[in-house]
Structure 1
């Protein structure tokens, strides 16, 4: 089957228990744009918030499901344990360290990770995040920061960087990455944390910060118990719907149970779990977020795909109002 390589990260979806606090942190502190305020299409009683660059270009989306009664995450293995975000250069990393200090954001010191200046930090619910410098990046291009962001464009977040998978049996995940998804194993490095874990680097497409996945073995930890501050799934970029339908066949031929083709309106999707239980999604680059809102007013109102529009009154009645006017 003639398949184009996956193009890198499409989006990462995580869990929050507080949509208002989440909106304030990711727009006012991190300077991302809320490009879509909608609902979880599998449970329309909860918000699904999409933060990204100026228009939600593929590879720039960090999204959250609001689950108001979500408990605290018990961090562990078989999880997406770290989401990184790209910034333009090394000077930007220093800018962000100063910004975090001024805003009392929990953060570590600047370190080198895989040859890139990096800064780990946590949001108000303990979501594990890291900024990585694109100064020496050669590979998947980043997005374009919104010009109305409170963060200067020269230091603005450009999109998603490497996503870290922590698993108990890494060979199982590596086999899916390489034999099914056609990733290339690029290199390995020792993590800067106390556990000094070996990190294997896999890349796809043009590679670089937007096309890498990190794989870490931790068989000394219990399985993660998700809650607020945990990651629900990671999605990888597929160029077109035609390509996505080919991937359905690939997963079926590989014997991997999957969702089959799923219509999400803003993109088309395919879901499956790799053998350690982490949820992967393949998602198309389009159509994008401007089919139901103009560029100037993205994220300002509750947006519903057409197939939910006749339920708007009932859906809105279940949601706590969230003011998001730009």
Structure 2
């Protein structure tokens, strides 16, 4: 019973149209599902991924027009990485971001990989990480987008960084409960702080890492636009999902129990520093209600909301892109 790696990261936007433009036109990712927040159906839920909506490639956004800004700090998913094939890809992206006036850093090493940090128009902290053919979780399939050569396209989720006041309790949950293993450390880009710890699961590699940063000097994170709501990790199938339900329940951590999202099964809980974790199945996938060829072109609703389609659509603002 082992988690395979990252499944998705879910964040917040106040401007769905600009968010769509940024992730599809600028970053060249595919909109693989246009749905609603199942806990608040007046809000869109947008999923961006690879060409075939592979598990482990999705960045998702809840749309809340008018939402205030995020305030960085501890108890947060402070950065989300996206995988690209090579360091040459990072140089391509550095030039592309420059040409589009997008704020970014320099190419530096994190956990032994070359990386390039940047942010979107709402302050989402993103990092491009070069695979360079390393062993581990396989990348996704690149999506064809104008101006982005396939050899430099984004091919999935890389490491997520968790920033906490005290790393020990989070590390214990990762290793003793979730089956991660500590595989290294690297210096914090913030300077004179403890090294960032690297934890891996499954086959390891960029698509299966959590980077844990202790920053007791920071205030507590406040979620708003550009901020990350939760990170989800991959369970291969529903048989193992049932075992994880029992395991998390036995741990004593408060949790959601079984949650059917239709496209996957989910389980939510907060680790001791308050960051929301989700465990999600790879199955059945985003193509259960629309073919791969036309993913994201219509409003996708889970089967248990389909009978409410007319009412839900009447309360959603039209998206113009």
Secondary structure of the residue that 1:233 maps to in structure 2?
strand
1:238 aligns with 2:232: no
Q: What is aligned with 2:292?
A: 295
| Cα distance, 1:148 vs structure 2 | 4.7
Q: 1:205 to 1:149 in 2, by over 3 A?
A: farther
Q: What is aligned with 1:211?
A: 208
1:283 aligns with 2:280: yes
C-alpha distance in structure 1 between counterparts of 2:146 and 2:290, whole Å: 19
C-alpha distance in structure 2 between counterparts of 1:150 and 1:52, whole Å: 18
The CA RMSD measured in Å over matched residues stands at 1.1
Secondary structure of the residue that 2:281 maps to in structure 1?
strand
Q: What is aligned with 1:153?
A: 150
Asked if the contact 1:32/1:149 (under 8 Å) is kept, the reply is no
C-alpha distance in structure 2 between counterparts of 1:104 and 1:88, whole Å: 23
- Counterpart pick for 2:65 among 58, 65, 68: 68
Asked if the contact 2:111/2:184 (under 8 Å) is kept, the reply is no
Q: What is aligned with 1:127?
A: 124
Residue deviations 1:129-166 (CA, integer Å, cap 9, x gap): 00000004211111001235542211010100010000
Q: What is aligned with 1:46?
A: 43
Asked if the contact 1:33/1:149 (under 8 Å) is kept, the reply is no
- Relative to structure 2, which stretch is displaced further, 146-155 or 51-60? 146-155
Residue deviations 1:215-266 (CA, integer Å, cap 9, x gap): 0001111110110010000000000111111111101111111111110011
Q: 1:323 to 1:286 in 2, by over 3 A?
A: farther
1:315 aligns with 2:301: no
Residue deviations 1:59-83 (CA, integer Å, cap 9, x gap): 0000000011210111111100000
TM-score by length of 1: 0.96
Secondary structure of the residue that 1:321 maps to in structure 2?
coil
TM-score by length of 2: 0.98
Q: What is aligned with 1:268?
A: 265
1:191 aligns with 2:182: no
Secondary structure of the residue that 1:13 maps to in structure 2?
strand
> How many residue pairs were aligned?
321
Q: What is aligned with 1:202?
A: 199
C-alpha distance in structure 2 between counterparts of 1:286 and 1:150, whole Å: 33
Q: 1:45 to 1:164 in 2, by over 3 A?
A: same
C-alpha distance in structure 2 between counterparts of 1:152 and 1:54, whole Å: 14
Q: 1:250 to 1:71 in 2, by over 3 A?
A: same
- Relative to structure 2, which stretch is displaced further, 42-51 or 112-121? 112-121
Q: What is aligned with 2:226?
A: 229
Residue deviations 1:159-192 (CA, integer Å, cap 9, x gap): 0001000001211100100010010011111023
Secondary structure of the residue that 2:42 maps to in structure 1?
strand
